[in-house]
Amino acid sequence: MSGVTDLGDMGVDARTENRKQHRYPTQSQSAKLNGAPAICMGHPPNGTFRSQFATASRALLVSRPMKLWIFALVFANSTVVLPQQPSDTGTRFIEDRNVAIPMRDGVVLRADVLRPAGEGKFPVLVYRTPYGKDEAQQEYTTFKHALERGYAAVIQDVRGRFQSEGEFRPYENEGRDGYDTIEWSSMQPWSNGAVGTFGLSYPGAVQWLAAVESPPHLKAMVPAMTFSTPQNFFYAGGTWDMSWMEWIWDNIAWDVRVKKNVPGPRTYKEALATWEQQGPAMLNTLPLLDVKPLQQVAPYYFDWLRHPPEDAWWNWSELRDKYSRTRAAILNLSAWYDDNYGPEGATTNYVGLVKVRAGEKDTQTHLLLGPWVHGVGSTAKTRSGAREFGPTAAIDYDAVVLRWMDHYVKGMDNGVDHEKPVRYFVMGRNEWRESDKWPPAAVETPMFFAPSASGVSSGRLQAAQFAHKESFSQFLSDPAHPVANSYDSSGAHDYARLSERADVLTFDSAALKQDTEVSGPISVHVWVSCECRDFDLWARLLDVAPDGTAMNLMSPGLDVQRASYRDLKRGRQWLSPGEIYELKLEKLITSNVFLQGHRIRLQISGSFTPNFSRNLQNGQSEVNSAEMRKANIRVFHDASHPSRVLLPIVSIPE
C-alpha cells in the first residue's frame, strides 16, 4: 500500500552510525515524535534502540519544527503515513512500505520505496542495511534531501534482517543480493534506469560487494568508511579483530534469539546490559572457538575463525583484484580516526581504481579524507576524541553524497568532474588540501631507532643510522598480562602513560625545530628476534606535545604485524627462536603536521587489547589454543639491523 506525505515531516533527526570502538550501528533513543508513538515495522516490540551520539542534521534541526505524525492505517506489511500539519516545503512524496524484491534464489527481501509524487520516471538511490530500514529513515536526512532533488529511494533490509527473508550471514550474500536489488530498481515503472548507491560502514561495504558483480545499471556510488580486503577487515596484520564479537552481541544476536527461541537477551537494551556483565569474560576466552554464548546465534563467526587470513575462502570479500569489474563513478570517503580498515580501504580502493582507469579523461573516482571518527554524524563534528580541528573540519555529508549523484546519476553539469580528485584534511595545521593524486608528493624520510642512556625501555628516533656493531632494546611480552587500551572510544587520546610500562619500548625524536608535515602511507621496518615461535609487533605513531601529552594519529589495527605472517602470500611461517627477522609494517597512514616543539614518538609493544587478539607466543593459533608463554623480544638498532620509520614528509604551502 502506498501513502502520500510531506517531506517536512521526514527524518528530522540524523544520528551517527556509532560503533563503540568498531562496528556498531545507529541507535535511536526513542521511537516517539512529540509524544506520538511511532510504529517501527521491523523492530520487535521491546527492541527499543538508543543513541549514544545524537548528532543532528544542522540544516533540519535549525530550520524545521518537529511535526506530529498520524499513523492513519496499519496493515500487515504497509503503513500509510499522513501529516497532521501542512509541510514547510509543500513537497510531497509517495511511500510504499515493505515492497517485496525477489532474489535469484527465490528469497524475498523487503524495502521501503520513496519517490516524488506525480507522474514521471526518476533516478534511484539504493540503501541497504542490516540495522533496520525503518531505523535508517528516522536516523538520516539523506533520503529526504534526495527526494527534494527528484530521486526515488529504495531502502532495504538485507537478507535475514527485520522484514527480509533468509538467513543472515554478514556480508556473504551482499554481492548477489545487491546486484539483484540494483537491477530490480532500474526496471520499475517509476525508475528511469539510472541507479546510485550510498551508505557508511556495513551499508558502505554492501555497495562494493555489489559493484564488483557488475550490475549494468549502477551509475555511481559513495561507499563511506569501509574496507578493501578481508585481511584488513576481519584480520589486521594477521591478528583477529575482536570487535566482531561485541558487534554481533549488541546488534544481531538478540534478534536471532527471538526468532529461534534461544535463551539470552532478546532486546537491544538487554544485550547492552548483559555485555557489560559477560563481555569481558567473552573477550578473554581462549581458545577463541570456545566463546559459547555466540555458538547458537552466530555460527558464521566460528566459520570465519576457522579460515586464517591467507585462506582463499576469503576471496568473496576481496576487492583489490576486482576494480576493473565496475564502471560506476565512485567517491571514496573515510576518516583518519575511522576504524582501522577505513582510511586504508578508501585509499587502496581509490588508487586501485585510478590504476585500472588510467588514460581515461575522467577516471570517475575521487577520494575524501577527513579528521573524523566512524559514523555519518561524526562528519559534521570538529572534534575527534581529545583533538579539536576547528570549524572547517565539518562537512555536509548529504550535500557531498547528492552532489556526486547529481553529476554521475542525473548527468548534471555541476563541476564535480573538473575538481581535483583528492581532498584531505591535514591535522595539526587544521586545513583542507586538494591534490591531483594520492598519495601527495612527498620525500620519504627515514628516522632510525637508537638507544638511550635513560633506560632500557626508551630510545631515540634520529636522522642518522646508529653505527654500532650490535645494539638492541628488549622487553618481556606476557600474553597473560597484555598491553591494554585504556580508552573504549575512537579518536585521539593521550597514550603517554603507556611509556611507563616495562613491556613498551618508546622511541622519541628530538623536539622539532619547525612544523613538519607527514601525509600519506608510513612504513615501519623493525629488526627483531624472540625466544619464541611467534609474536605480534605493534608500532604506534604518536604526536607528543611540549606538555608531554602523546596523541595517537590513527585507530589501532594499521600498526600491527604478526611475525608469522610477515609474508602473507606464503602463509604462516613460524619463527626460529633467536633468529633475527625484519618485520615490515606498511599500512600506517595519516596526514598530520607535527608542530614546532613537538616530538615524533613510536611505541613498540607485543599486544594491544582488547582491540585485537593476543598472540599466545606458543607456536599455535589463539583460535584453537589456550596455552600462553612469556617471551623476551629484542628490537635491534645497529649498523647491520637499521630499524626505522619511513615518514612521507610534505612541503607545507606558504
> Quick check: 52 pLDDT over 50?
no
Q: DSSP labels for 335-373?
A: EEES-THHHHHHHHHHHHHHHHTTT-S---EEEEEEEEE
C-alpha cell at 324: 576493473
Span 599-610, mean pLDDT? 97
Instruction: Look up the pTM and report it.
Output: 0.88
3-class DSSP assignment, residue 434? strand
What confidence category does residue 453 fall into, taking pLDDT thresholds of 50, 70 and 90?
low
User: Is the link from the previous residue into 439 a cis peptide, with omega within 30 of 0?
Assistant: yes
How far apart (Å, rounded) are the C-alpha atoms in residues 263 and 275? Answer: 15
Q: Which residues pair with 431 in a beta bridge?
A: 426
Q: Provide the b/e sequence for 580-595 (b: ≥16 CB within 10 Å).
A: ebebebebbbbbbbbe
Which pLDDT score is estimated for 513?
98
How far apart (Å, rounded) are the C-alpha atoms in residues 461 and 448? Answer: 5
Q: Report which residue type is found at 376.
A: V
How far apart (Å, rounded) are the C-alpha atoms in residues 468 and 107? Answer: 67
Helices 202-211 and 174-186: angle between axes, nearest 10 degrees: 80
Q: What is the pLDDT of residues 552-566, one digit of tens each?
A: 999 999 999 999 999
- What is the chain's length? 654
| Pairing mode of beta strands 472-477, 516-530 | unpaired
Which pLDDT score is estimated for 91?
66
What confidence category does residue 449 fall into, taking pLDDT thresholds of 50, 70 and 90?
very high
Mean pLDDT of all residues belonging to the chain: 88
C-alpha cell at 106: 527465490
Which pLDDT score is estimated for 85?
31
Which pLDDT score is estimated for 457?
58
- Domains, the chain, with CATH or none: 2-233+316-435 (3.40.50.1820), 239-308 (no CATH), 443-650 (2.60.120.260)
Which pLDDT score is estimated for 35?
29
What confidence category does residue 100 fall into, taking pLDDT thresholds of 50, 70 and 90?
very high
| Pairing mode of beta strands 191-200, 218-224 | parallel
What confidence category does residue 619 fall into, taking pLDDT thresholds of 50, 70 and 90?
very high
Phi then psi dihedrals of residue 88, to 5 deg: -60, -40
Which pLDDT score is estimated for 127?
98
What is the four-CA torsion angle of 31, 33, 39, 40, rounded to 10 degrees? -40
> Quick check: 123 pLDDT over 50?
yes
Which of 23, 16, 14, 13 has the alpha carbon at shortest distance from 378?
16
C-alpha cell at 135: 531505523
Which residues neighbour 127 within 8 Å (Cβ) at sequence distance 6 or greater? 133, 136, 142, 143, 153, 154, 155, 156, 197, 198, 199, 203
Q: What is the pLDDT of residues 454-484, one digit of tens each?
A: 554 589 999 999 988 889 999 999 999 999 9
> Quick check: 21 pLDDT over 60?
no
Q: Which residue has the cell 513537497?
A: 91
Which of 569, 257, 599, 240 has the alpha carbon at shortest distance from 452?
599
Which of 387, 467, 482, 428 has the alpha carbon at shortest distance from 593?
428
| Pairing mode of beta strands 2-6, 92-102 | antiparallel
Residue 171: left (phi > 0), alpha (psi -120 to 50), or beta?
left
C-alpha cell at 528: 627483531
> Quick check: 426 pLDDT over 50?
yes
Q: Provide the b/e sequence for 284-322 (b: ≥16 CB within 10 Å).
A: ebbbbbebebbeebbebbeebbeebbbeeebeebbbeeb
